[in-house]
Amino acid sequence: MQELLERKKGLRRKVLIVDDEFIEREMLGAMLKELYDIEYAGNGREALEIISKEKIALSLVILDLHMPEMDGYSVLEALKSDNELRRIPVIVLTSEKEAEVKSLQMGAADFISKPYDMPDVIRARVGHAIELAEDTIIIHETERDELTGLFHKEFFFEYGKRIDFLNNNMPMDAIIIDINRFHIVNELYGRSYGDEILKKIGDGIHKLVKESGGLACRFDSNGFYIYIPHNDGLMEALNSQIEKMHESLGDNNISIRMGVYLDDGSGFNMEQRFDRARLACNKLRNSYTTCVDFYNEELHSKELHSERLINDMEKALAEKQFKVFYQPKYKITGDKPVLTSAEALIRWFHPEFGMVSPGEFIPLFEDNGLIQKLDRFVWTEAASQIKRWKDDYGVYIPVSVNVSRVDVFNPMLGCILSDLVNINGFSPEKMLLEITESAYTDNSQEIIDTVNGLRDRGFKIEMDDFGSGYSSLNMLTSLPIDALKLDMKFIRNICNNTKDCRLVEIMIQIARLLEVPVIAEGVETKEQMELLKSIGCDIIQGYYFSKPLPPDEFSKLIK
């Protein structure tokens, strides 16, 4: 495209005249040589050799239809079948009306009648054909992704809406394709390898659209959108294309997932259909059994429910529908377990839905940033509760509170937490801050700097879900932490699975090297507790001792 733009700034174009009649070639050349650089060919075969060599610089071919060795029709066919050469406009030379029609149907841009007269008309036709072709190419390059040849998303939605309007909103299906872990592919194998993957998937999408109709675009770095007429055989077509794509990729490390919205007559517009296809695609993020999912009523109901929870969050905070419960932690290193601290856990008592699981609303709030407001509420409640217990019983019960990944990147985090402990009159180490191991691996240095700042203020840091974030041992030695909290999935089968037991032993040994205590959560049985104690665990949390309790019931444990 850049070369075409340069030409439009005033550089001379190159024109190839193809005719087996020497005098005819020279006559045309004489008419055009003041405006263009001229090359000549005496037959179709010679013309194709020149076109292949000069395809970048060549702006136009003037082609006689009747020549020996290879006629003009064969040259038109060859140009039309080649993606690189078909962009070069062709003006045919003919004296037959039927030939004019046939050549235009084969892709010719215009024709010049023999015998030649009115040189100004010929020059105008040549100039117009070149200008039109260059403008078309520039538009094509602007609206399409250079790597895959698919539309850019802006043009995709514009043309899709036009399809809906011109075809009276005929049924159209929406498909989203994502490449799993594509950023990892680029990091491991390089950008050029990733580009090859995108090209191959783009080729597969071109074939699907060609067979089914419709249009497609590259939506972002690793995502594609397809908009095609509704077809009852779509599932079969998709499975066939997925199989072909995986064959062309030829690499088990690359996998794709597809979310599909089938037009059911609901009257959704184009964007709404792709919103629903996205829900189906996202559902496959952690699936290893299938790579295609369809939007359905279950997803629709879940979407509506999720949206309702998001919309109700502010009202729930104002009406105190959220309650903070406390699950005790017991130190088990001595002869008898001793209450040592607690974890603050949020509960939502919704007036319509009843008790909403944290596993349901917390991921929603993490996705849209509302988690910061919820965390701030929990921190405030927990700080006040620490003070109340001290006032009522004369002892401090330290409380662990969760610090989400979103919170960690808040530059005011240290000030917010310091203000809370100062207002309630206790030292920072009484409020323990839980940060998940996976948060450290996301942007390790920035989070390490933040955590170091919190520790400088006097806060203690517990690494939550240790064993699930894939920290390197080298990284662990540099992490600023004051306790390791084992992921509860390792505790669940510790008594029945020797591998899980051995893993826990190794993690406890790591904690010993780091000189920090180990907390095990999710402990439900006496056998689990005794086994953990025998292998050196320091602190236990779980239903074996107590479920999470409201403050007044937790107070009985303090008494």
Q: What letter would DSSP give residue 116?
A: P
Whole-number Å distance between alpha carbons of 271 and 50: 47
pLDDT at 339: 95
Query: Do 162 and 120 sit in the same domain of this protein?
Result: no
Same domain, 386 and 474: yes
Based on the domain organization, do 472 and 491 belong to the same domain? Answer: yes
The pLDDT score that the predictor gives to residue 1 is 44
Last residue of a domain, one of 104, 122, 143: 143
- Structural domain contains residue 304: no
8 A C-beta contact, residue 324 and residue 382:
yes
Q: Which amino acid, one-letter code, is at 144?
A: R
Q: What is the pLDDT of residue 305?
A: 84
Which residue shows structure tokens 């303090």? 558
> Quick check: pTM over 0.95?
no
By C-alpha distance, which of 144, 252, 254, 247 is closest to 194? 254
Residues 22 and 117 placed together within one structural domain of the fold: yes
What domain range is 137 assigned to? 2-143
**Predicted pLDDT of residue 224:** 94
> What confidence score (pLDDT) does residue 438 get?
67
Q: CA 420, CA 399: separation in Å to the nearest integer?
A: 13
Instruction: Return the pLDDT at 290.
Output: 67
Residue 398 falls inside a structural domain: yes
What's residue 331's pLDDT?
95
- Measured in degrees and rounded to the nearest 5, phi and psi for residue 191 equal -65, -40
Domain-embedded: residue 302: no
Single out the residue in 238, 264, 295 at which a domain terminates. 295
**So what's the pLDDT on residue 7?**
47
| Structural domain includes residue 35 | yes
CATH code for position 373? 3.20.20.450
Nearest-angstrom CA–CA distance, 161 and 556: 65
Same domain, 231 and 318: no
On whether both 369 and 278 belong to a single domain, the answer is no
CATH number at residue 16: 3.40.50.2300
The domain boundary, picked from 100, 117, 143, lies at 143
The verdict on residue 160 lying in a domain is yes
Q: Which residues contact 372 (CB under 8 A, 6 or more apart)?
A: 404, 406, 407, 410
Please state, in angstroms and rounded to a whole number, the distance separating the CA atoms of residues 555 and 557: 5
CB 485 within 8 A of CB 452: no
pLDDT in tens, the chain (559 residues): 444 444 444 568 899 999 988 988 888 889 998 899 999 998 989 999 999 888 888 889 999 988 888 888 999 988 888 867 888 899 998 777 778 788 888 888 888 888 777 888 889 989 898 888 887 777 766 788 888 889 888 889 988 888 888 888 788 999 999 887 777 777 677 788 888 888 888 888 888 888 888 899 998 888 899 999 887 777 777 777 777 777 767 655 677 888 899 887 778 889 989 988 988 888 777 565 668 888 877 777 777 788 889 999 999 999 999 999 999 999 999 889 999 999 999 999 999 989 998 988 998 888 778 899 999 999 999 999 999 999 999 999 999 999 988 888 888 999 999 999 999 999 999 999 998 866 665 556 778 888 899 999 999 999 887 765 545 455 666 678 899 888 787 788 788 777 878 888 888 888 888 889 999 999 999 999 999 999 999 999 999 999 999 999 999 998 8
Does residue 301 sit within a domain?
A: no
CA dist 123 and 112 (Å) reads: 10
Tell whether 402 and 534 lie within a shared domain.
Answer: yes
Is the residue at 308 inside a domain? no
**Are 358 and 497 part of one and the same domain?**
yes
Query: Residue 284 belongs to a domain with what CATH number?
Result: 3.30.70.270
Residue 182 and residue 125 in one domain: no
Q: Does residue 306 form part of some domain?
A: no
The residues with which 258 forms a beta bridge, in sequence order, are 177, 292
Do 397 and 446 reside in the same domain of the chain?
Answer: yes
Residues 135, 159: one domain? no
Domains of the chain: total? 3
**Within this chain, do residues 405 and 503 fall inside the same structural domain, yes or no?**
yes
- Tokens for 444, please give them: 């390790």
